[in-house]
Structure 1
Amino acid sequence: MLFGSFENDGIIFLIAFLLISGVLAAKFSSRIGLPSLVLFILVGMLIGSDGLGFIYFDNAEIAQTIGILALIIILFEGGLQTKWKTVRSVAMPSISLATAGVLITSLLTGVAVHYILDVQWYEALLFGAIVGSTDAAAVFAALKERNIKAKMGATLEAESGTNDPMAVFLTLIFIELVSQPDTSLWIMLPSFFWQMGIGLILGLILGKAASFSINRISLESSGLYPIFTLSFALITYSAASFLDSSGFLAVYVAALVIGNSELTYRYSISQFNEGFAWMAQILMFVILGLLAFPDQVFQVDIITKGLLISFVLIFMARPIAVFLSLFKMKYSVKEKVFLSWAGLRGAVPIVLATFPIVAGLENAYLFFNVIFFVVLTSALVQGSSINFIATKLGLMGAVKDTPHHSIELISIAKANAEMIQFQANRDNAVVGRKLKDIEFPKRVTISAIVRGDRLITPYGDTEIKAGDFLYILVSRKYKEALRKMLNEKIDDNKKTSQ
């Protein structure tokens, strides 16, 4: 085994091997349409004691810690990339799915588990709570490069970003009830509202504090800003946990606030967090793959019961929860069917499955093995067919417009200036006008215009067209004035002239 017998250089080599394997697995998965998390898990199982035998790993506490840390990073990155304008329109449906939807899914799955695994009711409901929520890591990864309609993508991302508190709350409640059956369920209910409320408030406060600090502090290197930003994610989770509230919810809300604020070094922060989230995702799923022993997971009994539970979860519990949670909301039957199918299970259920092991419950390892198989089934069946289902239901959106150019956006701290990117849309007042006819604020320089695949050197007679990417050097003092001018609409100009 490598751990315990290798020197430090061997362990470093192993980490490098795991990261390279994860990157190649991500590339391979995108070509064959298989969710990357499946390949990451398989890498972990392959190098484990039941595979090539490189590593023997069975420490559920370490896996739990790594999993929680990785989920913080993944949730934070997902929140940074989420546009509030898109989420705002689906806020209520997402919250309903994240609370009532998780509860209904957990209860219905728990009923099935009671009879399939022949366990006590509290244990069955504990199992249901663990698999009751969709997974942010799986959903963000599945939707990132797919052209699903914005409404569907926003609903799924907002749900997966906010439903972890409900799943964690239910899991901890039923662990307590299994350990101490005399505990009153009603006494625990107020803690749910405390967790959600304080988590939301902390996320808003620390998100605002982070945005203010990022824009006000002057650091020596631009590479320090992404680290400074990420530190707020860890502080937010820790502060929420210290107050016995939901750290995951607080982190996601804080990321939403930061991501939708005017930020200096936005490009560097975004790129760093995206790469770091991928690294966290790779390591998390590999570690969870190591924790699972194939000779235990792929037993006939586990496979049979896992398939039955997966069938109930995918085709009964999740759809019923979605249709009830979205009752009388503006979603068509086709949209509800898609949301039912796209409720992916991933890292969160596996991480939560370590809680009963750490608590020393009787059927903890049985639950872990079955839940692990259920997650694999969900990823393979649902994750690999999202595009197919969306196409059949007519829910594919327009092809995502990703510019093919690559210009590094910078902030020049010593000069107190920034290079910003602006894409001109058809309804922007600057479209169709020559640069010399536009009254830009002071200390503004149009450095470059990218039109399609062409780089255009800007002159006074250069006309701005819809779809152009403008790269503008501006003094921070006039950044807000420039932003307002660029975002003026054609209708606004007409009203002003009248």
Structure 2
Amino acid sequence: MDNIVFVVTLIGFAGIAAQWLAWRFNLPAIVLMSIAGILIGPVFGWIRPEESFGELYQPLISIAVGIILFEGGLQLKFDELREVGRGVRRLVFPGVFIAWGLGFLAAWKIAGLSFETAALFSGIMVVTGPTVIMPLLRQAKLSSRPATLLRWEGIVNDPLGALLAVFVYETLHIAHIGVDVASYQVIGSLILGALLSTGLGVIMGLFAAQAFRKGWVPEFLKTPVLLGSVLVCFAVANGFQEEGGLLSVTAMGVTLANAKLPSINQLRQFKENIAVLFVSGVFVVLTANLTIETLTSLTLQDGLFVLAMLLLVRPIAVFLSMIGTNPTFKERLLVGWIAPRGIVAVAVSGLFAAKMVEIGYEDGEKMVPLAFAMVFATVIAHGFSITPLARALGLAQAGRPGFLIVGGSAWSTALGEKLREMGIPVLISDSSYRALRSARNAGLETFYGEILSEVTEHHVEFVRYDTLLAVTANDSHNALVCTDLAHELDRTRTFQLSSKGTGEHRRAVSYALQGRSLFGKPVSLDELMQRHYNGWAFQLTRVSEEYTAEMLKEALGDESLMMLIERDEQIVFATSDSPLIPKLGDRVLAYVPPEVAEGRTQPAGDTDQIKARKEEILEQNPVPPGLTTG
């Protein structure tokens, strides 16, 4: 028992640490998780998961993969298919079968597998699962269309690859035991099992949606009930057909995602958190379970097979299957390169490798090392290349991320213009067309519509922005916007105006719901608009040796509102819990009265040190140094 506790603890720590390091240093998470598993497994020999978990090893992996696929299904909305629906259908059919056929030729002729083993292994290799696609999409911040293609393909093709492997194995197994069954009967059985599994998933999804909508399940039990339903769906579908559970839980997730449940976002966020834990753990487990013999058994021939899969099979399959669809050549090029294999490929390969050896195909043992070779090669190649390739093709956010300002007004327009001068992209959103007039006249990018609408994500590329400023006149709406979009951006990068602050004021919105305060003290839009019409302006000042932070603070005085500083291409905001401390080289953006903006007054309360410094500067430069705008 103590050993299992140590194994579980080490796996959890290694997986989450790899995820954090990937976020901190902007590296592919899958690569770091794979490295972590190899280090604690075959390199240092600290754990051997298959020996520690015993007979539970394979079922635990299967359940984890099922939950991951369900969570992936929760991300698939049919509304996303309006522009790429035909492309997604083509990637599934005939794309899967083209990839299967080409992969079979590569496995048979290049990897040297037997005809039968090559047919089974190539079926598994059509998968590009959510365990690797989702982290890559999160990392690369792709534009919506290629991201939708890759996301849908990855989640839908995962169970299809497993079913292809089941079909090939059942055919070979029947031939091995000598039962006289026609091939069409095997195909019919497979189709029937797939239909039953899909139907079960849809029914379970509809029932769960109805139960939640009618109030049959209390709010605090929704997530546990949903998790239990997923496990039941997975187990029952596996009874219909081997690996049918993967298809069933995917169908259940897609059904729930499109049921328009009021609580779907909360359920989706909780399931995503679980999926992150499972992805971290399972990837570490699978790589830690490798041996030095497995890693060293790969040959040059196997390397050529991997290259053929990356450089020939995948691109050809994508371009052939998407003939006549609307994705552009650049989008097809990106999709044709990005096809990382993940947990399902390794888990299903491990399952059928042993079964193939049992029925007399000794080269079935090669499936596991080949699967790992594909996983490592694709994860490393695609993990490190997706961001630069997408940016080179113009399919991802290039340059510095921008600001999403919710609330159109003359004040937000002035702020947007100043941010644009700083080289920061800005989008101003409002549900009032009239409120956006000043922003349109200033040439700023605008979005007319409710930012909280479901259809907004089809019109706003959220990946272009990493900072939210909610600056409407309504504190409650600002808080709602920050709460809803915090998951999309990051709660630490959501800011709002609040006239009541986050204290115990009876009319203040709870601090748990608000974004961070935009200024260091409570201020309403009405106050800012009054100051705007009184001549207040945004002033950008660089702190230098000639114009120090102390001189800046003296010049600004107590009345000005310091808003943000730009330091090493990073933006830091002034908040009530984190006041700004300017340093040498920073550019400080403040909202200042007209006399400060126009330099009509000297800073109050000059000390002898500041006066002496000013006199020194005036001797070197006849132009008095005021606040600069660059």
Question: Equivalent residues in 2 for 1:361-376 (5 A)?
Answer: 361=357, 362-376=362-376
Match of 1:295 among 293, 296, 301: 293
Structure 1's unaligned 5+ residue stretches are 1-6, 406-423, 434-444, 459-469, 472-498
Q: What's the CA shift string for 1:219-240, capped at 9, x where partnerless?
A: 66x5432112222222332343
Q: What's the CA shift string for 1:87-144, capped at 9, x where partnerless?
A: 3543332232124222221221221221233332111111211212211211112112
Structure 1 distance, partners of 2:324, 2:263, is 43
Query: Structure 1's 276 and 168: CA in aligned 2 closer, same or farther, altered over 3 A?
Result: same
Q: Which residue of 2 aligns with 1:150?
A: 144
Aligned residues with identical type, % of pairs = 24
Q: Which residue of 1 aligns with 2:112?
A: 118
Structure 2 distance, partners of 1:163, 1:120, is 24
Alpha-carbon offset, residue 17 of structure 1: 2.5
Alpha-carbon offset, residue 379 of structure 1: 0.4
- Comparing 282-291 with 343-352, greater Cα deviation is found at 282-291
Alpha-carbon offset, residue 281 of structure 1: 1.0
Structure 2 distance, partners of 1:397, 1:28, is 22
Q: Which residue of 1 aligns with 2:335?
A: 339
Match of 2:21 among 25, 28, 33: 28
Secondary structure of the structure 1 residue equivalent to 2:140: coil
Match of 1:453 among 480, 486, 495: 495
Secondary structure of the structure 1 residue equivalent to 2:341: coil
TM-score (normalizing by structure 2): 0.60
1:330 aligns with 2:326: yes
- Kept in 2: contact 1:199–1:240 (CA 8 A): yes
Q: What's the CA shift string for 1:351-375, capped at 9, x where partnerless?
A: 1111223415222322111211121
1:135 aligns with 2:129: yes
- What is the Cα-based RMSD across aligned positions, in Å? 3.3
Query: Structure 1's 280 and 92: CA in aligned 2 closer, same or farther, altered over 3 A?
Result: same
Secondary structure of the structure 1 residue equivalent to 2:113: coil
Match of 2:45 among 42, 48, 52: 52
- Comparing 284-293 with 262-271, greater Cα deviation is found at 262-271
Query: Structure 1's 261 and 333: CA in aligned 2 closer, same or farther, altered over 3 A?
Result: same
1:428 aligns with 2:470: no
Structure 1 distance, partners of 2:305, 2:16, is 32
Question: Equivalent residues in 2 for 1:65-464 (5 A)?
Answer: 65-179=59-173, 180=175, 184-217=182-215, 222-244=219-241, 246-299=244-297, 302-361=298-357, 362-396=362-396, 426=429, 428=431, 432=435, 447-450=476-479, 453-457=495-499
- Kept in 2: contact 1:448–1:457 (CA 8 A): no
- Greater Rg by CA: 2
- Kept in 1: contact 2:126–2:161 (CA 8 A): yes
Please tell me the residue identity of whatever aligns with 1:95.
R
Structure 2 distance, partners of 1:71, 1:259, is 19
Alpha-carbon offset, residue 50 of structure 1: 5.2
Structure 1 distance, partners of 2:256, 2:145, is 22
Query: Structure 1's 242 and 285: CA in aligned 2 closer, same or farther, altered over 3 A?
Result: same
- Kept in 2: contact 1:63–1:291 (CA 8 A): no
- Kept in 2: contact 1:297–1:303 (CA 8 A): no
Query: Structure 1's 404 and 428: CA in aligned 2 closer, same or farther, altered over 3 A?
Result: closer
- Kept in 2: contact 1:109–1:309 (CA 8 A): no
How many residues align? The count is 421
Q: What's the CA shift string for 1:432-490, capped at 9, x where partnerless?
A: 49xxxxxxxxxxx98452476124359xxxxxxxxxxx98xxxxxxxxxxxxxxxxxxx
Please tell me the residue identity of whatever aligns with 2:317.
A
Query: Structure 1's 185 and 240: CA in aligned 2 closer, same or farther, altered over 3 A?
Result: same
- Kept in 2: contact 1:147–1:396 (CA 8 A): yes
Q: Which residue of 2 aligns with 1:11?
A: 4
Alpha-carbon offset, residue 328 of structure 1: 0.9
Alpha-carbon offset, residue 150 of structure 1: 0.6
- Kept in 2: contact 1:122–1:177 (CA 8 A): no
Alpha-carbon offset, residue 167 of structure 1: 0.9
- Kept in 2: contact 1:74–1:136 (CA 8 A): yes
Alpha-carbon offset, residue 195 of structure 1: 4.2
